[in-house]
Structure 1
Amino acid sequence: MKTTVQHIAIIRLSALGDVAMLVPILRRFLKQHPHVKVTVVTKPFFGKLFKDLPEVNVLAAEVKTKHKGILGLWKLAKEIKSLEVDAVADVHNVLRSKILRFFFFLYGIKSAAIDKGRAEKKQLTALKLKSIRPLKTTHERYEKVLTQLGFPVDLSQEVKFKKPNLPKQFQQQLQPNTKKWIGIAPFAAHESKMYPLVFMEKVMAALNKENNLHIFLFGGGDKEKQLLEALAEKYEHVSSLVGIFAFAEELHIIANLDLMVSMDSGNGHLAAMYQVPVISIWGNTHPYAGFAPFQQTSNQQILPDLARFPFVPTSIYGNKKVSGYEDVMRTIPPREIIDKIKSFI
C-alpha cells in the first residue's frame, strides 16, 4: 500500500530571530510527521538557518527583486504551487503573506495563518500599572497554525541530533581546547534592549579571570566589529568573531558553545536552535510577550528592577521610547549576570 505524502509550505519571510524560532518546531514536526514534505518560504539569507535540516526544502522569496510587488508575489505563488504544495502555513501574517494566501485561495490550496495576539500584546505593553501574565509563546503560535492544517506538534518532545562540525579555521585556532565556551552577543536591534556595553565589559573582565572559560563575541556591521575587536584586545580569553566567518560557519560555532548570553535578540534564538543553554537579558521588553528562546527557563532570564520601572514591558519589540525608561537596563548589576553565568558553567 502506497503512503500518500503531503506537502506543506511554511511562510516566514523575516526577521532573523522569528525565522530561527521555526527550526526547533520543524525538528519535532519532521519526527512526528515523517511522511509530510516541508518547504520553507523565506528571504534568501535566512535559508541558511535550515542547512542542518536536509529534509526541509527552502524556496527563496526575493521580495526586493523578482518577487517585488503584486506581480512578483503572483510569480512567487506560482513557484510555490509548482512544487505541488497542498497546504500553506502562514506564520508571518503580514501584507505580503496575506496576498500570497489570496492567490492560494484562487488555486484551491488551503491555508492557515498565525494569530499574533495583537490585542493582548497591546494590553501587556500599556503604559500604566498592571498585573502581567505570560502570553502564548511564538513557538506555540507557530504550532497552532500547523494544528489547524491537521498536523499538531508536541513541542515538549525531546529531539536528539548531532552538533555540526566546527569550521576548520576555527578548529586550528583553538586546538587543543580544554575550556568552556561562552558566547556573548551584546547588541540588539533597538537601544532599549541593549545592556550598556560598559557594564558588559565588567562581565567580560570577571569571566576573563576564570582559567576554564573562553568568551566569543558575536555581532554584525562595521561599528559593532570595531567595538568588539577593541574589547577583545584587552582580554586574553576573549575573542571577537565578527566578520571572520561566513554566517553558516558562525552558526556551527554557536552550535558548539556551552552557553550563550544574549539580549532579547536573534542570537538567543540561534543558540536555542541547537539546544545551547541561553541566558537572556531583558530591558523594556519582557519574556511574557512570547519571544523567549525555545525551552529556556525563567531562571535563565535576567530582568531589570520592575519595582522601579512598573510599566515594563513598554514595547513588544523594543522599538518604542518611553520618557523616564531610558535607564531600565542599568538596574541590572554586572554581578547578577556574572553569578548567573557561573551557576550554569
Structure 2
Amino acid sequence: MAQARRATSDKPRRVLVTRFSALGDVAMTLPVVYGACRANPGVAFIFATRRHMAKMFVNPPANLTVFAFDPADYEGLTGLKRLYDHLSSKFDFDAVADFHSVLRTRVIDWYARRDGLKVVSLDKSRSHRRALTRRHNKVLVPLRPMLERYADVITALGLHAPGPFVSLFPPEGAPAERYAILSEPKRRGERWVAVAPFAKYSGKIYPAGLMEKALRMIVEDNPDVRVFLLGAGASEEAQLDKWGATIERTTSLAGNGGGLAAELALLSHVDAVVAMDSANMHLAALVGAPTVSIWGATHPYCGFSAFGADEANAVQLAIECRPCSIFGNKTCRRGDYLCLAGISPRTVADRVNSLLRANPPKK
C-alpha cells in the first residue's frame, strides 16, 4: 500500500495531469499543458494518457514527462489502484490536475485525496450541455471553451496561468526528414491542402459525394495546389485511395505507416486544412495550420473549437435542431442529416480558396 503523504506547500511542485482519451481531446490539452509548463518552470508536470497518444507530444517542454500506458493493464478498481500506486512511487507527485473527470480518473483522484494531495477536476458543466442540445427550448448560448476550462484547473492548483502557445514546431515548420515517409518537401510555388473527411460519428461527417465535389473544385480553382487526404482504417483508406486515383494532384496518405508524428510534421507545412469536428481539426491547430472546419450535429458553441480557431472558417448551417449532441454520437431525429447534407460543396471550396488567397505561394 502506498504510504499516505501530504503536499508540503500551497504551490505544488510535481503535478500529475490525467487525460486518457480521446485523441482529439488529448490534443486539445497540449496548448494548455505546454503553456503551463513554460509559465511554471519550477514545477514538474507528468501527463498520464494512453500509449498511442504519446507521439503527439512533439518538442515537449523540459519539465514535462509523458507517462503512456495501456488501459488493459490496469482494468477495474484494483487495476486503477495499481496505476495510482505505480505513478505515485515513480513520480512522487503532490497534486493532481484531472483533465478528464470520468470514473477512471475520479478513482485516481480519490486515492490522491486520501493521501492528502490537492486535486482539481475539470468542470464539464453538464447541465448547460443538456440545455444546449435538448430537442425543445434550447438555450443557444456558447459554453465556456474547453481550453479555458483546462486552464482553470491549472490556476485552481495555485499555479500561474498557462503562457502562450503557437505551434509544436518553429515558424518554419518541421524538418523535411520528419515527414519524408509521407511526401517530398514542398516545391517552390506549390501550396498544400490537407483534407481529413472523416470523424468517429456520422453526425460529424460531411457526405462523401459532396466532399468529392468540394475536392474537385479546390483542385480546379487552384492549379498550384497539391491535396493530401488523411484517414485511417480499411473503409476510410478505400475511399481516400479512390479519390487519390481519380482527382488530379491528390494523394491519399491513409495506410502509409507514417504515424501521428509524421502527420503533424507534414501539417506544419500545409497552407489550409479541411476537417470535420474531429481529432484532425485539433491536430492541425497544434501546428498552427489554417483550418476550415465543417460542423453538423455538433456546434462550436459546445466549447470544442480548436485552439486558435477563426470563427469565420467554421462552415455550418443555422437550423433549429442544431446542436443535437455534444459528441455527434446521436442518431439524426430528422433522418437526413440536413445539417451536413445541406452544406454546399462550393461553400467549402470557397472558404478554402479564401485561406489560400491570404497565403500566396512562394515564387
TM-score normalised by length of structure 2: 0.88
Inter-partner Cα distance in structure 1 for 2:185 and 2:245: 17
Q: What does the per-residue CA deviation read over 1:226-262, in whole Å, with 9 as the maximum and x for residues that have no partner?
A: 1100111112211111111122212211222222110
Inter-partner Cα distance in structure 2 for 1:201 and 1:289: 28
Unaligned segments of structure 1, at least 5 residues = none
Letter in 2 for 1:136: R
Inter-partner Cα distance in structure 2 for 1:173 and 1:158: 28
Change (3 A) 1:71 1:158: closer
User: Does structure 2 retain, via aligned residues, the 8 Å contact 1:143–1:152?
Assistant: no
Inter-partner Cα distance in structure 1 for 2:207 and 2:106: 39
Moved more, 15-24 or 207-216: 207-216
User: Does structure 1 retain, via aligned residues, the 8 Å contact 2:298–2:322?
Assistant: yes
Change (3 A) 1:171 1:91: closer
In the TM superposition, residue 97 of structure 1 has moved relative to its aligned partner by: 0.5
Alignment equivalent of 1:208, drawn from 219, 222, 225: 219
Alignment equivalent of 1:292, drawn from 294, 301, 305: 305
CA RMSD of the aligned region, Å?
1.8
Residue 71 of structure 1 aligns to a residue whose secondary structure is helix
In the TM superposition, residue 326 of structure 1 has moved relative to its aligned partner by: 2.5
Moved more, 22-31 or 10-19: 22-31
User: Does structure 1 retain, via aligned residues, the 8 Å contact 2:154–2:160?
Assistant: yes
Match of 1:164 in 2: 174
Inter-partner Cα distance in structure 2 for 1:271 and 1:284: 21
Change (3 A) 1:129 1:334: farther
User: Are positions 1:232 and 2:244 aligned together?
Assistant: yes
TM-score normalised by length of structure 1: 0.93
Q: Tell me the matched-pair count.
A: 337
In the TM superposition, residue 72 of structure 1 has moved relative to its aligned partner by: 1.5
User: Does structure 1 retain, via aligned residues, the 8 Å contact 2:12–2:157?
Assistant: no
Trace 1:1-150 onto structure 2 (pairs within 5 A): 6-55=13-62, 56-65=64-73, 67-82=74-89, 83-150=91-158
User: Are positions 1:333 and 2:344 aligned together?
Assistant: yes
Change (3 A) 1:147 1:175: closer
Inter-partner Cα distance in structure 1 for 2:183 and 2:326: 42
Match of 1:187 in 2: 198
In the TM superposition, residue 51 of structure 1 has moved relative to its aligned partner by: 3.0
